[in-house]
Structure 1
Amino acid sequence: METLPFSRKLLGTALAGAMMLAAGNAAASDLSSRYTDADGDLVADVPADESQWVDPDTLVFAYTPVEDPAVYADVWADFLEHLSKATGKKVQFFPVQSNAAQQEALRAGRLHVAGFNTGGVPVAVNCGGFRPFTMMAAEDGSFGYEMEIVTYPGSGIAKVEDLKGRQLAFTSETSNSGFRAPSALLRSEYKMEAGQDFETAFSGSHDNSILGVINKDYDAAAIANSVAKRMLARDVIKSSDYEIIYTSQTFPTTAYGLAHNLKPELAQKIQDAFFSYDWAGTSLQAEFANSGEAQFIPVTYKENWAVIRTIADANGVTYDCD
């Protein structure tokens, strides 16, 4: 399948300057007052009071609502069976329909293990006590995805400047590649503001944005290219259906982690299950090999999400969790 030519860039010097000025690691103050962070790792501590630990009979798992939840219930089936054996617990897949629903489920204590999209991780950490510890990577340990701005052939949009007066679709306000990164980019590099220089729409997910562009519902959209790659591999779309006018630097991908108040022994079993999982021949491998992923690797919120926090800072994002 031939790949269409596109303009590949990094987030520019103006944005980089803004990010340097932002306090990338000074996010501890964003943590909800419901939680403590005695060790300074920017995530909620496990409660010191054992009476606050949770040890449910059934673990509830949710994957970020990037695409059709029904598809991903099957994709995750092999892994969730492995997780059940490793923990001795029943495991239920929770097909969340939106980022807001996933965040609320975590905050309300209805979600125990989850994968949150890149931009949603800081919200989950600060408002829901999410403790991320892993993400997917390639065999060689490389990881991440790029934000792309895409349009349909014949749209008259050949470069970012051509978005003026047109419509650009975002996914949701918590999405890094679907909102925050392109907003910071357009403001800093191109002096373009949403609602002034271009119209906006919110599609709800990356696949909706991609299909919306292809069907000409939107003039252009900001997407995560990892989603597009998986859709291409499943023949949901063709490379000739759309054109790429911008590609960003590489960002960390979906983070997987735990509710902060799980019983420590259970939390350890869950983490061990991720790192002991054998991908070979599984439904997870069949799906995520399409975007080059083949294993789970350890991550920390403080280090791996620094660039995401600074993009949020550049956009003036705050976390009013209480």
Structure 2
Amino acid sequence: MMKARILLAGVFASAAFAVHADGVLRVTAIPDESPTELQRKFAPLGEYLSGQLGMKVEFVPVTDYAAVVSALTADQVDLAWLGGFTFVQANTRGKVVPLVQREEDTRFTSRYIAGTNSQINKVADLKGKTFAFGSVSSTSGHLMPRYFLQKQGIKPETAFRQVGYSGAHDATVAWVASGKVDAGVLNASVWDKLNEAGKVDPAKVKVIGSTPPFYDYNWTVRASLQPALQKRIRTAFLALDPARPEHKAILELQRATRFVPTKAANYAGIEAAAREAGLLK
């Protein structure tokens, strides 16, 4: 019996510390932007990680936020770019380890936007209007903006004439610009990026407010990944130095000044908000 237990423990240990049999580190990300944009952002980072880790790194696209959580907690991928809420969802299953986040994610915000020619000039003016969140599982495109709206006495389902979910931050801007909805909310970083790229028409869309800051995105690994490899991945992210041109290009694509260590406790506020909103059982 003792020998059997030892053998069984060895099997579990091998499974727990194994990378995929083909030696590939599989990486995915919540689809908060278009698939082509996610691939573009990841390519230089994936090449960098491959060089630092001495192994092939492969990006695995997914269709929705829930698929990222399922893939990571089922050990189908090794490393994932998660929003605060998707991290909380994965963490409640007890199978993940958060490694790093952008320094900007320690004080993240969302932007409330509206049609430029509308009479909506502040958040209080949203009552009775049509409104778009991003994905239901988005931290900055749904959960935290909803939480802060409710703190102001604005419950979306009763305060707004209609509530929709665009599925992604850039889609929310498109909905508002086209007049499909009167207003919406999105990730502040994506809003800034779209403006810098000239993809927001100021004649059609304007900012009417921002949320208070909160913790958001992070890079998280499956808990069964070898501890030594987890450490090497964290070290690789922390080593990205904006003073080095090749690193600066990677950081700029990630919209990061630098990466810093993170921990599950940072997301206690998001977990509390999700439970209060009835989005986490």
TM-score, length of structure 1 as denominator length = 0.75
1:309 aligns with 2:271: yes
Question: Quick check: which one's helix share is greater?
Answer: 2
Q: Which residue number corresponds to residue 54 of structure 2?
A: 88
How far apart, in 2, do the equivalents of 1:180 and 1:227 lie?
A: 16
Q: Which amino acid aligns with 2:55?
A: K
SS in structure 2 opposite 1:274? helix
Q: Which residue number corresponds to residue 197 of structure 2?
A: 234
How far apart, in 2, do the equivalents of 1:224 and 1:66 lie?
A: 9
When residues 87 and 248 of structure 1 are mapped into structure 2, their CA distance, relative to the original with a 3 A threshold, is same
How far apart, in 1, do the equivalents of 2:94 and 2:44 lie?
A: 27
1:164 aligns with 2:121: no
What 5-or-longer segments of structure 1 have no aligned partner? 1-46
CA drift at 1:275:
1.4
Report % sequence identity. Answer: 24
Question: Residues 26 and 59 of structure 2 are in contact (CA less than 8 Å); yes or no, is this contact kept in structure 1?
Answer: yes
Q: Which residue number corresponds to residue 136 of structure 1?
A: 102
1:145 aligns with 2:108: yes
- Show the 5 A alignment for 1:209-228: 209-228=172-191
How far apart, in 1, do the equivalents of 2:202 and 2:28 lie?
A: 30
CA drift at 1:143:
4.0
CA drift at 1:229:
0.6
Work out the number of aligned pairs and report it.
266
From 284, 293, 312, the equivalent of 2:250 is 284
Q: Which amino acid aligns with 1:98?
A: D
Q: Which residue number corresponds to residue 254 of structure 1?
A: 217
- Show the 5 A alignment for 1:1-322: 49-53=12-16, 54-56=18-20, 57-127=23-93, 129-137=95-103, 143-195=106-158, 197-279=160-242, 280-282=244-246, 283-289=249-255, 293-302=256-265, 304-319=266-281
Q: Which residue number corresponds to residue 40 of structure 1?
A: none
How far apart, in 2, do the equivalents of 1:128 and 1:115 lie?
A: 17
CA deviations on 1:53-111 (whole Å, 9 max, x unpaired) are 12221111112212122223222222211211222221101222321221222133211
CA drift at 1:122:
0.3
When residues 93 and 310 of structure 1 are mapped into structure 2, their CA distance, relative to the original with a 3 A threshold, is same
Q: Which amino acid aligns with 1:183?
A: R
Higher relative contact order (CA 8 A, sep 6+): 1
How far apart, in 2, do the equivalents of 1:117 and 1:208 lie?
A: 17
CA drift at 1:284:
2.3
SS in structure 1 opposite 2:213? strand
